[in-house]
Copies of this chain bind each other. A is one copy, B any other.
Amino acid sequence: MKFYDCSIAPSPRRVRVFMAEKGLEIPTQQVDLRNGEQFADWFRELNPKCVVPVLVLDDGTPLCEITAICRYLEELHPEPPLLGVDARDRAIVEMWQRRVELDGLMAVAEAFRNATPAFAERAMPGPRKMAQIPELAARGRERFGWFMDDLNARLADSEFVAGPRYTIADISAMVAIDFAGWIKVTIPESCGDLRRWHEAVSARPSAKA
């Protein structure tokens, strides 16, 4: 297998933390997003969406999309389980993972991509040009504030995002909070449970991945 990564980017970090939690080391090649290497022909053949991460399987199949890669790695290396431990738990993990993605990660991405000069014609990842929408940047910021409030309320009742165990939903939420630093947003004082949780997950060795 071979992992196509970009060490500065939030999306592949979600997979790097996942691999670190499982103690996996997979040969890795950096893709230079800053200089547009994701648009090079060789990479576009691996992923026509022109985004990292990509995991190329031993049979040459390029596997794209973060959760698809994580699901594959979980099946090959079930311990420790990061996608849930039984049918009910796996469904609950998926529910929280989706909420974190839609309300957290996508909100920051909207805020960042639609307001950062370097992404002037790249308001969404991918090979096609797309103009920024300043109102969407503002809405993303507002949505991210709601996300932190909601997650804080959840974490008042639950040690981790999806329940009593650390899961992929914690990885996604940690990356969302850290990604929000790019738009100069940090956890407000009012969100004490979110702070407690963020400190705990950030102290795990995997967080450095």
Residues of A within 8 A of B (CB): 48-49, 57, 59, 61, 63-65, 67-69, 71-72, 75-76, 87-88, 90-92, 94-95, 98-99, 123-124, 128, 130-131, 133, 135-136, 139, 143, 146, 150
Contacts and interface: CB of A to CB of B under 8 A. Distances in A.
A72 B91 contact: yes
Number of copies of this protein chain within its complex? 2
A63 B133 contact: no
Contact of A87 (B75, B95, B123): B75
Contacts of A48: 150
A72 B90 CA distance: 8
A123 B133 CA distance: 15
Contacts of A67: 94, 98
Contacts of A133: 133, 135-136, 139
A67 B146 CA distance: 23
Given A98-B67, A98-B68, A92 B61 contact: yes
A92 B61 CA distance: 9
A68 B92 contact: yes
Given A87-B72, A135-B135, A63 B146 contact: no
Given A95-B64, A98-B68, A88 B57 contact: yes
Given A133-B133, A135-B133, A139-B133, A75 B99 contact: no
